[in-house]
Amino acid sequence: MRPYAGRRIVLGVTGGIASYKTGWLARLLTSAGAEVDVVMTRAATEFVGPVTFEALTGRPVHTDLFEAGRALDHIALAKAAHAVVVAPATADFLARVAHGFADDLLSACLLATEAPVLLVPAMNDRMWANRQTQLNVTHLRELGHTVIEPDEGALAAGEGSGPGRMPEPEAILAHVGRILETNGAFRGRRVLVTAGPTREPLDPVRFLSNRSTGKMGVAIASAAWRRGAHVSLVAGPLEVPVPPGIDVRTVETTEEMATAVRAALPQSDALVMAAAPADFGAAEPAARKIKKKEKPDAIALAPTIDILKSTREARPPHAVMVGFALETGDALAGGREKLAAKDLDLVVVNDSTEPGAGFAVDTNRVTIVHRDGRTEALGLMPKSEVADAILDRVEALLRER
């Protein structure tokens, strides 16, 4: 799984109650194809046993700087690592790393490594807010380390809630991917993505829409963020969570989505229009709920705005424009027609009647149509992999512009 497969990750664990969640992070990294070397401080072993991480990673766990026969472990681990991740990172550990201490195996690894470092703080909210902790975090960022903000939520028993909670392992996994993706054309670029359906009102309580959940668009936004882009997501009602780090603008109607896209597009390097906006709405929505006894014989429909066509004047000359064509008949012909009519660089075509390629599933089967007429048919694959395949083509176009 990109970008984790074949990468060597040093996963540091310090002595905080949040260390119970680090086991799942180790599992996620291993399942994604990474080789995970767990390094635990002595305090961490009071919370979670080393055997837990050995079982989850299938690799030895390192705990002692002065273990006989392994005196140079900190050098070997530091040199082999593609990234060093410390989760949780306690206030004490942040302070020691900020001041260059190397009195245990984990802090010695950080001092010896040239790999990118990701620190994931977890502590009481008052400790996180303390001025000394904030000065240490500022200094660590100045040193080039990535320190992510803790979540707000329930803390240890009896401590209530507040900022200081360790982010969930899935969110940390995304941050690990972002520090591993260092050389792509997306780093520092601005990418605009749309996702989900829109809703066109029939009356104050009913609407016309479709079965889109937003999974494909969110997968693209997540992959673009992981590759280093600044990502803006314009989304209709979603049934999937959006990872942290992505700017989200929520809309209801197709007109609202078009307005939001036109506003953000002039500052964007690429637009990936993965949403499934409603093509029709009521010509005259009712001002009040339509009662059963008042059921009309027919409801007149009117076409909604064509979002991609409406962006022509807002498009920067260098921007890469990508559309989606969800079809149920001759999908490829529909995609080619959309490519030409809307002046796009790429169109991603799929047939919603194919098994595993429709709405509300985790997989997709698409064909990518290029401006020059070339087509690339991709097999059935997870939507996360489809997202990367699309962004690979967008990245190639960005390098040319």
Q: Is pLDDT above 80 for 159?
A: no
Position 54 confidence tier, pLDDT thresholds 50, 70, 90? very high
Nearest CA among 191, 189, 175, 171 for reference residue 232: 191
Domain 8-180 falls in which CATH fold?
Rossmann fold (3.40.50)
DSSP string spanning 26-87?
HHHHHHTT-EEEEEE-TTGGGTS-HHHHHHHHSS--B--TT-TT-TTHHHHHHHH-SEEEEE
pLDDT by residue (tens digit) across 85-95?
999 999 999 99
Per-residue pLDDT, 129: 95
> For residues 191 and 290, what is the distance between their CA atoms, to the nearest angstrom?
41
| Higher local confidence (pLDDT), 75 or 130 | 130
Residues of the chain with CATH 3.40.50.10300: 190-400
Position 157 confidence tier, pLDDT thresholds 50, 70, 90? low
Query: What pTM, to 2 d.p., does this model score?
Result: 0.90
210 is catalytic: yes
Q: What is the CA radius of gyration of the chain?
A: 25
DSSP string spanning 329-355?
SSHHHHHHHHHHHTT-SEEEEEETTST
Residues of the chain with CATH 3.40.50.1950: 8-180
> For residues 35 and 77, what is the distance between their CA atoms, to the nearest angstrom?
12
CB contact at 8 A, 81 and 73: no
Domain 190-400 falls in which CATH fold?
Rossmann fold (3.40.50)
Q: Which of 165-174, 290-299, 366-375 comes out lowest in average pLDDT?
A: 290-299
Q: Give the mean pLDDT of 97-109.
A: 95
Lay out the sheet containing 375-377: strands in order across: 247-250, 230-235, 190-195, 270-273, 320-327, 346-351, 367-370, 375-377
Q: Which candidate in 124, 136, 183, 210 is catalytic? A: 210
Position 277 confidence tier, pLDDT thresholds 50, 70, 90? very high
What is the per-residue burial (b if ≥16 Cβ within 10 Å, else e) of 67-89?
Answer: eeeeeebbeebbeebbbbbbbbb
pLDDT by residue (tens digit) across 296-324?
889 999 999 999 999 999 999 999 999 99
